[in-house]
């Protein structure tokens, strides 16, 4: 448990700093609202139309492919950590594992799913 206390501490501190900064500004700052001040901050050109629009399905397909290979890394990570001690058999196994997934990658690639078209 010990080493994780630092991770927890990191989150607490990370939360406290912005909360503190915003809180102090809220406490100390003068409040003189007017309509222009309260409008949503926009950088650059004013937005046209809805802010919630339908995105390309390609985003979704990318995330999907990413998910599959993300899960792959989860399986390969323990394998890679132990690789030096495991011997040839384990290496071959890992390679088979990767090769099967490469087939999936080739499939998606060749289907044009990885193109931003």
Stretch of 13-21, 24-32, 35-43, 104-112 lying at the interface with another protein (CB under 8 A): 104-112
DSSP-assigned letters across all residues of 67-102: HHHHHHHHHHHHHHHTHHHH-HHHHHHHHHHHHHHH
Contact mark string toward another protein, 18..57, x via CB under 8 A:
--------------------------------x-xxxx-x
- Decide: is 64 part of the binding site for another protein (CB under 8 A): yes
- Decide: is 75 part of the binding site for another protein (CB under 8 A): yes
The answer to whether the CB of 102 falls within 8 A of the CB of 108 is no
């Amino acid at each position: 448990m010990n080493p994780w206390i630092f991770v927890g501490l990191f989150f607490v501190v990370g939360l406290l700093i912005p909360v503190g900064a915003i809180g102090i500004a809220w406490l100390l700052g003068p409040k003189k609202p007017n309509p222009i001040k309260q409008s949503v901050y926009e950088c650059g050109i004013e937005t046209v139309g809805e802010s919630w629009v339908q995105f390309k399905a390609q985003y979704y397909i990318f995330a999907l492919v990413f998910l599959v290979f993300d899960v792959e890394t989860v399986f390969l990570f323990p394998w890679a950590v132990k690789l030096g001690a495991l011997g040839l058999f384990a290496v071959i196994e890992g390679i088979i594992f990767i090769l099967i997934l490469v087939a999936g990658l080739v499939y998606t690639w060749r289907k044009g799913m990885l193109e931003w078209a």
